Amino acid sequence: MKMKMKMTKYFSSASTTTTAGLVLLLFSAAAAAYPLPHHRHHPRFASHNYKDALTKSILFFEGQRSGKLPPNQRITWRRNSGLSDGSAMHVDLVGGYYDAGDNVKFGFPMAFTTTMLSWSVIEFGGLMKGELQNAKEAIRWATDYLLKATAQPGTVYVQVGNANRDHACWERPEDMDTPRSVFKVDQNTPGTEVAAETAAALAAASLVFRRSDPTYSNTLVKRAISVFAFADKYRGSYSNGLRPFVCPFYCSFSGYQDELLWGAAWLHRATKNPTYLRYIQVNGQTLGADETDNTFGWDNKHVGARILLSKAFLVQKVQSLHDYKGHADNYICSLIPGTPFSQAQYTPGGLLFKMSDSNMQYVTSTSFLLVTYAKYLTQAHTVVNCGGTVITPRRLRTIAKKQVDYLLGDNPLKMSYMVGYGPRYPQRIHHRGSSLPSIASHPAKIQCSSGFSFMNSKSPNPNILVGAIVGGPDKQDRFADQRSDYEKSEPATYINAPFVGALAYLAHSFRQL
């Protein structure tokens, strides 16, 4: 069961102006800001096989697929499911992803997952080598569904399945017999945050397919434009109109302003249409561009929007977005231990810790933002100044690598929190399909309530959901590996999505020992 974790606001502030006395220091720091070159005599070695982890982080998405599975499906213990999704409202909503360990399709986290997978490919796809095609297929599985969900103008279908009824069962997606209720937002029941996130996902994905499939890319960006216009025109939170169905699972606590800024930022990047730049210039302040909420995840996109828009200033030299470099720097300064503005908490073992429920999603999203902002800073030959402490791009990459390494096994328990990676990883993840016998081994239907005998057993899951990243340890680095503890043991698509980009960077930059 996935319950909504409340977003905590972290205050940070940092000076982004540099005094004359700092100029020389900044100049020399910028010169040192690049990753070490791959000289024959100075390779950088890694204790982890990032390439293997990258492969598995993408493979995971095949285990989360809903709908009719393709012939090249690699996680073979999964079979077709949800083939009549949408029929309750006479629409085709077959496909897409189950968000986590249950059998509901929640549109809000699915769209964010799609945006982050796309951003991973946009920034680091060139480093993915043989995995680029698999990453694109993972994105397309989502966008094909999001195109179906937005096919009717002025409507976005945002959920398939009744979460409360679903959570009362423990059954395979292939067996599910709980109501496949369909929920939508429209002008009468607005859902600005979910619609704007869907627009962001479609816009970001259009960039992924621009060269390889320009027709598909064009379809995505056109749909993104119309969905964003709907989100902006009919404002309101879907947590209000659909409260009994989306709460407490994926309520939006951060409001919808962050998604409007984020959606506009992605449309600006995808279309280069000055309309979106003007929208950001006029509305940025009221949409919370300078707020001090420093938690980036499926609910709150402010930090992601700041990093994304800082690129337009740093690399494309869009002077009117100058402030976003400062906003992005504030976020970075809040993360760096020992700086005057540090707000982040870390476990004794060094893991970034935001909250007890699914903390690893913030570890993966933060790691991605660190390597991405480091890339932008390097391209612009600049650094971050945290109250007189100069933070180079290399320092950001070092922090990100430490978080990734912790997740992969460099931690007090020597436990990899990615299933199937390393010698020791979670065996009892909170995931119905993984924990129940597969169709191949048990063809007969497993009824709703009889599945709980498997859920409550101490046995390891029979099906390995390769690449799944679980919620992770507590703030004291403890992890019990209990199936019932969904806060720690449940995987989710939005935990993996940003990790794909971080791993692609590290796989390219470090050789395995």
Which residues are catalytically annotated?
A: 430, 481, 490
CA pair distance 1, 250, nearest whole angstrom? 11
Question: Please, which residues bridge with residue 185 across strands?
Answer: 156
The number of beta carbons lying within 10 Å of the beta carbon of residue 69 is 17
Q: HSE-up of 286 (CA within 13 Å, CB side)?
A: 6
Using alpha carbons only, what angle is made at residue 417 by residues 411 and 423, rounded to the nearest 5 degrees? Answer: 80
Determine contact, residues 483/455, Cβ cutoff 8 Å.
yes
Q: Return all residues near 135 (Cβ < 8 A) that are at least 6 apart.
A: 58, 117, 120, 121, 125, 128, 500
CA pair distance 61, 58, nearest whole angstrom? 6
> Each residue of 274-291: b (16+ CB within 10 Å) or e?
eebbebbeebbeebbbeb
Determine contact, residues 93/160, Cβ cutoff 8 Å.
yes
Structure-block tokens of residue 348: 């004794």
Find how far residue 26's CA is from the centre of its chain. 33
CA pair distance 252, 242, nearest whole angstrom? 11
List the one residue out of 103, 132, 130, 97 whose CA is nearest residue 118. Answer: 132
- Amino acid (1-letter code) at residue 232: D
